[in-house]
A and B are shown apart, each in its own frame.
Chain A
């Protein structure tokens, strides 16, 4: 494997900061079955990193370990180290970690509450109670998610009244409300039509200024469109990690090339 720290520096020669997330030697098990093998990579800050690979390759599982969402499932175990700004996430308070590393899921999953309450949720559970700041934060998050104009008159309607694409952007707004440093997106567009997908991709670009984004996608074009870096997973292993154009134009591994050119599954 290519030393990907080199790549990170190469990619952002002027960046003051090093990688946002550094994963080293990550192994993951469902019960006795090992589904991730010795994954190491570094995710650069304020960029979009895409993870691609055939279904069942472990990319989603990998994503979920980055904010320890795997712990919500019984019988799972992660070994190895994940550093967030140099801090070991396994040693952090999981709630603090998830505030800093937010997540958007494959199927939009708004709460059965009003639009406002959905966005305010993360703030409220973190102790925000006063009305004025809460309303401001909700508006700010909805604006960042480019949803404000569409919902500003429906804030107290049920979130289920929105379309699928709007619901997914609402989930992004909800994740943004707690001001995460990293946003993990697990195939966020897989259930959406092309127009809604385009909106979400646009939104991802605009979020780069304040956030580091990691997106899992089964759609190679999407990875090529949005991501600065791309990692290719196969059978629980990270086969190749590089700048996106390298991955798609002159991959260094045979498996990557096969997958990119469609000679695969």
Chain B
């Protein structure tokens, strides 16, 4: 078979010079190399980031060890650095913000996903996404000049403080909770809804007893993402938290957060130990958001997978 075939002559075809084709073929390797290099750059940047935070905080870590996290005194002049007031401020403002934003955000998401007609829902979601694009320094500006006077009237001695920061944070994370929860709700299969309605449930019962539980992992995911953002939020908090390293008796009193102290003191830190302590705070913040982001992604992926199985 082979020999007979091999004798066939075919029409000679125009041949392009070999070098041209070799150059074209090299194009695949070049394109691969350039893009792979860029992809590797992402890894390099991230590794550099972790290494930089770790190595630059060495001084503070060796000096204070784990007691850094529970120390209550932050005194750059005396060279004594404890992170507890900042941890407290960060965690408490974020938790309060969640407590305010989650019910509001999930409620709004239910409205957008279940009740509003698609066109209206899309329009409103667009506005929510614009809200997410407002720079945090603008939230801070409004926090100082609009919210703080209101808080003073409501009983906060200085206007600024933990509670003020929490309110600003709640407003800032609201768009994230709304848009991600809405997506989680929309990814619930129609059959789930219809099954409940067919059994005689009202629309609200179908939503609350079937749809929301079904989407709960995605909603939790949105909460974790929002929490991660709240923990790392710097400008708005710096402008309204009061910047006092204390653990006040009242939530209306001023406090301080990790991100805020870095923002305020980083350029003024002349002592190596001070700078190192600030960077260690950065490391702590990084660790916190890392864990939360990982959890959030896991939950969101799990809901999606659940939706895909149906």
Taking Cβ atoms with an 8 Å cutoff, the residues of A that contact B are: 5, 17-19, 22, 24, 83, 85-86, 93, 95-96, 100, 126-127, 179, 181
Contact = CB atoms under 8 A, between A and B. Distances in A.
Contacts of A86: 2, 5-8
B6 A127 contact: no
The winner among A5, A17, A86, A127 for most chain B CB atoms within 10 A is A86
A181 B1 contact: no
B5 A22 contact: yes
A95 to B, nearest CB: 8
Contacts of B16: 126-127
B14 to A, nearest CB: 9
B1 A5 contact: yes
Interface of A is mostly: loop
List 6 A-B pairs, minimum CB-CB distance, nearest first: A86-B6, A85-B10, A86-B5, A18-B8, A22-B5, A17-B8
Interface in B214-261: none
Given A5-B1, A126-B16, A179-B13, 18 more contacts: A5-B4, A18-B4, A18-B7, A18-B8, A22-B5, A83-B5, A85-B5, A85-B8, A85-B10, A86-B7, A86-B8, A93-B25, A95-B25, A96-B21, A100-B13, A127-B20, A127-B24, A181-B10
Interface string B50-93: 00000000000000000000000000000000000000000000
Contacts of A95: 21, 24-25
A134 B4 CA distance: 38
Contacts of B25: 93, 95
B21 A22 contact: no
A82 B120 CA distance: 58
Contacts of B4: 5, 18
A100 B15 CA distance: 12
Given A93-B25, A127-B16, A127-B20, A24 B1 contact: yes
A179 B16 CA distance: 14
Contacts of A5: 1, 4
A85 B7 CA distance: 9
A93 B21 CA distance: 10
B30 to A, nearest CB: 16
Nearest to B17: A127
A81 to B, nearest CB: 9
A96 B13 CA distance: 11
A50 to B, nearest CB: 22
Nearest to A81: B2
Contacts of B24: 95, 127
A86 B2 CA distance: 7
A18 B10 CA distance: 10
A135 to B, nearest CB: 18
Nearest to B20: A127
12 contacts: A5-B4, A17-B9, A17-B10, A18-B8, A24-B1, A83-B2, A86-B7, A93-B25, A96-B21, A127-B16, A127-B20, A179-B13
A96 B20 CA distance: 13
A46 to B, nearest CB: 12
Contacts of B9: 17
Nearest to A18: B8
A18 B21 contact: no
A5 B9 CA distance: 17
A195 B217 CA distance: 53
Contacts of A179: 13
Contacts of A126: 16
A246 B103 CA distance: 75
B183 to A, nearest CB: 28
Contact of B5 (A19, A100, A181): A19
Interface in B3-58: 4-10, 13, 16, 20-21, 24-25
A86 B25 CA distance: 24
B1 A22 contact: yes
Contacts of A19: 5
